[in-house]
Structure formats: C-alpha cells, structure tokens
Amino acid sequence: MEKLVVCPYKRPNALCRLICFPWAGGGTSQLAAWGKLFSSSIEVSSVRLPGRESRLKEPFAKDMTTIVNEITSVLLKELQEKPFAFFGHSFGSYISFAVALHLKEKYGLEPIHLFVSGAHAPNSEAFLPIKNIPLCDAEDEDIITHIQLLGGTPSEFLQYEDVKKHLIHTFREDIRVLQTFSFEKAERNIPFSCDITCFNGSEDKPHDLEAWHDLTSGDTSFYNLPGGHFYLLEPSNAIFLTKHITRCIENAGL
C-alpha cells in the first residue's frame, strides 16, 4: 500500500478519500501535499507509479491496463470501505478515468465525484493525436523543450544532467503508456452516474471538455482558472481547487 499510495496527512476518521493521479513525468509530492489544505473530513493521497521516487528501481509499467490493475488491486479494500473521489491532472486524468471505469465495470464501485484537469475527454477525437506522437523519433532536447513550455518543472532541476535524463525517460514512458489507452463509448451506454468537474488553465491549449458530458448521467461542470498547463501549482489556484473539491464532496451528502 505505502509503495503505491502516498498519504502524508492521514485521517482515519475522514468521511471520504480523495485519490490524486499526477501528470506525465510527475511524482507525488505536489498533490499529496494538498492533504494539509483539506478539512479533517477528507483524506488526500497520491498514486505513485513505478519507475520514480521510492519505486525508482522498478521497471516502468508496460501499458495502461497494468497500471489500472495494480492500482485497483492495492486500493480495492479501502475503496469498498469508504466513499472516494478521484482527481487527475493531464496524464493523471486518463489514469483516474481508466481506474474508475474498471472499478465500475468489474466491482460496481464508482467515485462520488470525478475531478479532471488539463485533459481532453477520452471519447473525444481531440484525444486521438496523442496516440500518434512519434516518441521513437523525438530527440531528448525536443522533449525537454516541450516540458519547459508546459511549465511545472523548476528550471534548476534541469541543470543536473542525471535529473534531466531521468525526467526525459519518465516522460517518454508515461506518454508511451498513455498511447496504449483507448476508450470507445458504446452507443446509449453512459459509463458513470457521478458528477464530473473539469478544470483547465486559461492560457493552456484548449481541451475538448464538452465530451465529458457524454460519460455520465450526473452533472458536468467546467472551470477555467488563470494560468497555463500547470495552473494548479499556483497557490491561489490550489486553494480554489481544494475549496471547490471540498464543497462538491460535502454536497454529495455523505
């Protein structure tokens, strides 16, 4: 459990668990730290994927199914005990969706709320070009340029060659995993009944958020917050997110 899930602010009496899923190339520190911003009614944890942090020596996951199966097998007991919600940013939004879909289809479990950020709906045509990114042909410097354009990585980290090399490798592997993910919505099949909230940075590239409407019979809402792709690292935005997520969870009538 501790290998996969980081929870620095444990709240065993919380009414709900908020499981966070980080972005491509990312670790657990930023989202796990949200725990101190939430009230005692919500326990926050962040998923740690193989190939990073304390799992550095483990091989990267080979595909999305492997990640979903590991997360589900480790978290299933906890998710059956208590209501839960998911928050994912970018790559993490797709993992959170894939895990939620697996839990619903196999175990009849569903988050009380799905919070997604900086990501196209997986049933959108806008998602398809991600599957065709030519990772094999991409030079390391091209990947670093892309990471710098996205923001979110302190420039001083990139001054250390070993850190830069590992970041490039992790980013490549995460995008490769994302390219193994596919979702085709069957006609008249609405996979979820929970509410979905979509967040996006106002200066980030546009994402097809409207298609999230088609994935739930619950309410879908959309929020643009000031900033680029990593708008959520701005303290003022983090406070807005945590307050809004708290309100949504508390209004779920737990």
Cβ neighbors of 58 (< 8 A, separation 6 or more) are: 50, 51
Q: Could you give the CA distance from residue 125 to residue 114 in angstroms, rounded to a whole number?
A: 21
Q: What is the pLDDT of residue 37?
A: 95
54 is catalytic: no
Q: Could you give the CA distance from residue 52 to residue 106 in angstroms, rounded to a whole number?
A: 29
Q: Could you give the CA distance from residue 211 to residue 193 in angstroms, rounded to a whole number?
A: 15
Q: Could you give the CA distance from residue 175 to residue 154 in angstroms, rounded to a whole number?
A: 20
Going residue by residue through the chain, which has 254 residues, state the pLDDT in tens, using 9 for 90 and above: 779 999 999 999 999 999 999 999 988 989 999 999 999 999 999 999 999 999 999 999 999 999 999 999 999 999 999 999 999 999 999 999 999 999 999 999 999 999 999 999 999 999 988 888 887 677 888 888 888 878 767 777 778 888 889 888 999 999 999 999 999 887 778 999 999 999 999 999 889 988 999 999 999 999 999 999 999 999 999 999 999 999 999 988 76
Q: What is the pLDDT of residue 6?
A: 96
Q: Could you give the CA distance from residue 117 to residue 158 in angstroms, rounded to a whole number?
A: 25
Q: Could you give the CA distance from residue 100 to residue 140 in angstroms, rounded to a whole number?
A: 33
Q: What is the pLDDT of residue 149?
A: 79
Number of neighbours of residue 137 by Cβ within 10 angstroms: 7
Q: What is the pLDDT of residue 147?
A: 83
Single pTM value for the model: 0.94
Distances, alpha carbon 86 to alpha carbons 128, 134, 146, 163, in Å: 23, 30, 27, 29
Closest among 87, 73, 74, 81 to 19, alpha carbons compared:
87
Asked if 107 and 76 touch (Cβ cutoff 8 Å), the reply is yes
Active-site residue (options: 89, 113, 120, 229) = 229
Closest among 95, 90, 116, 126 to 228, alpha carbons compared:
90
For residue 192, list its beta bridge partners.
216
Q: Give the chain's largest Cα–Cα span.
A: 51
236 is catalytic: no
Active-site residue (options: 46, 90, 93, 96) = 90
Q: Could you give the CA distance from residue 56 to residue 220 in angstroms, rounded to a whole number?
A: 37
